[in-house]
Amino acid sequence: MSEMPLLSVEGLKKYYTVNTFWGRKRLIKAVDAVSFQVRTGRTLGLVGESGCGKSTVGKTLLRLERANSGKVVFDGQDISNLEGKSLRSLRKNMQMIFQDPYSSLNARMKVRDILAEPYLIHGLAGGAELHGHVSRLLDMVGFSPETGNKYPHEFSGGQRQRIVIARAISLNPKFVVCDEPVSSLDVSVQSQIINLFKRLQKELGLAYLFISHDLSVVRHVSDEVGVMYFGKMAELGNVKDIYEQPLHPYTQALLSSIPIPNPIAQRSREQIFLMADLPSPFNPPDGCRFHTRCKFCSPSCLSLDPEWREVRKGHWVACHLY
């Protein structure tokens, strides 16, 4: 496995300007100077509260949203400013699986046409060859070729997500953004889809950015974990370090909320409760954005934005405690 990162992100920023009720324009810093890497065949899990910018990161990487600044290097190529043909060609190597399988599929198209569409758009196959590609994709996600004659409404949520996954891998991409792909599914179905992700990764050498708020799922599927808070990366490291030796107070609070299937251990461990509520995105706090909810808040936290630094090999954190 290559040591060079497949995807390298440096200082990624995505800001939105919104009109308030009073007609004033306000700036929302959805993603603010986020940096990380994803290696070939590995999974980076991205966790955090709703609204912290996880999905915006994924969309910006795939150029579904244009970043305000920052550098995104994919497979040795700076893709930050690609346009036209170059951008369309890139789509073959970078795909996205959205959260809701019900709205991700065109209800008026049969499954075989949905899976054939990427090949037709890029002019890669037609006729009997195209039919063979579609049958192969259906088989890879556990369906028979006859399934292609049905419409999306004839499938359950888990089955639809399998179809979405088949479409995402149709052009043999190197990198897939999975935006909460199992959050809308039953727990029993979640495990099937997660196992499918892991099998496809092993067979195809896929790299994943796995976005989720379910910390247990992220621990199971990820090699590395990034923790986001209020548009910024709070902590990043391999899955063992993050779950067993979390450094950032926010990460510690998140992990303390995971139930333990041992009543005695659950009662004896410390539950960390965050102070106050999440600040308004229209008026983020100065200094460290977490200081309004942190029990370790110091005077420097009120005015100075903590430096993003590597405190242990491969373990990064943005906190004045370190």
Domain of 177: which CATH number? Answer: 3.40.50.300
Same domain as 187, residue 158: no
Return the higher-pLDDT residue of 41 and 266: 41
Phi-psi region of 41 (alpha: psi -120 to 50; beta: other; left: phi over 0): left
59: its two tokens: 């969309």
Q: What is the pLDDT of residues 92-143, one digit of tens each?
A: 999 999 888 888 899 999 999 999 999 998 888 878 889 999 999 999 999 9
Rounded Cα distance between 213 and 228, Å, is: 11
Same domain as 59, residue 48: yes
In terms of C-beta density within 10 A (0-12 exposed, 13-18 middle, 19 or more buried), how is residue 214 classed?
middle
Same domain as 89, residue 105: no
For the chain, the farthest-separated pair of C-alpha atoms sits apart, in whole angstroms, at 69
Rounded Cα distance between 97 and 246, Å, is: 29
Same domain as 179, residue 270: yes
Same domain as 212, residue 86: yes
Same domain as 12, residue 116: no
Mean pLDDT of the chain: 91
Same domain as 129, residue 89: no
Q: Which domain holds residue 106?
A: 101-170
Is residue 163's pLDDT more than 70?
A: yes
| CA 246 distance to own-chain centroid | 20
What are the distances in angstroms from CA 16 to CA 19, 25, 73, 98, 152? 10, 10, 23, 21, 34
Q: How confident is the model at residue 217 (pLDDT cuts 50, 70, 90)?
A: very high
253: its two tokens: 């609070």
pLDDT for the residue numbered 144: 93
Q: Give me the residues paired with residue 238 across strands.
A: 224
pLDDT for the residue numbered 269: 66
Is residue 186's pLDDT more than 60?
A: yes
Is residue 2's pLDDT more than 50?
A: no
Same domain as 280, residue 189: yes
pLDDT for the residue numbered 267: 64
Count of domains in the chain? 2
Per DSSP, the chain holds a count of helices (H) and strands (E) of: 11, 12
The domain boundary, picked from 126, 144, 170, lies at 170
Q: What is the pLDDT of residues 96-108, one digit of tens each?
A: 998 888 888 999 9
Rounded Cα distance between 314 and 310, Å, is: 7
The domain boundary, picked from 131, 155, 170, lies at 170
290 C-beta neighbours (distance < 10 Å), count: 24
Same domain as 87, residue 116: no
Give start and end residues of each alpha helix (H) in 235-295.
Answer: 239-244, 249-256, 263-268
